[in-house]
Amino acid sequence: MTAINQPPQPRGDLTLQTIAMPKDTNANGDIFGGWLLSQMDLGSAILAQRIAQGRVTTVAISEMAFLRSVPVGAIASCYCELIKVGWSSMTINVEVWINIESTNNPAKVTEGEFVFVAIDDEGTTRAVPEQN
C-alpha cells in the first residue's frame, strides 16, 4: 500500500539508465516505442546474464503496456525484477520510469515481462545455475 502523499516507487532493481535523444523520436516528436523496448531488453538482459552466469537470449516478450509518452531529454531508468526461474529460462518484469519535468515526480512509462533462456557458447540451451 502506498503512503499518502508518497510518489509511487519502481519494482525491482535499477539495471540501466539512459537519456532519450532526438534521434530516437517518432513522427510526433516523442520517443519511439521500439527504442523503449530495446532499452528494456538490454536492462533485463543484464539481470538475466547475472542470474544465468553467462550468455542468454531473449525468447519472448509479453504483457507489454505503454502508459505515457516519453519526451526527448528524459532519463529513462529500467528497473528489473526476477519473477520466475525454470530449468533454462528466466522471466523478468521490467518497468521504465522517468521524472516528469514540470513536477519532478517519478512516472512509470512502460512495463513488460521478458523471458530469457540461458545458452552456452554454441547457442545451445543450458541449465540456469541454482539460485541462493
pLDDT for 16-53, tens place per residue?
999 999 999 999 899 999 999 999 999 999 999 999 99
Distance between alpha carbon 102 and the CA centroid of its chain, in Å? Answer: 24
Q: Compute the distance between CA of residue 128 and CA of residue 37 in angstroms, rounded to an integer.
A: 24
Q: Which pTM does this prediction carry?
A: 0.90
**Percentage with pLDDT > 70 across the chain:** 97
Which domains does the chain possess?
Answer: 13-118 (3.10.129.10)
CB burial string 54-85: b at 16+ within 10 A, e below: ebbebeeeeeeeeeeebeeebebbbbbbbeeb
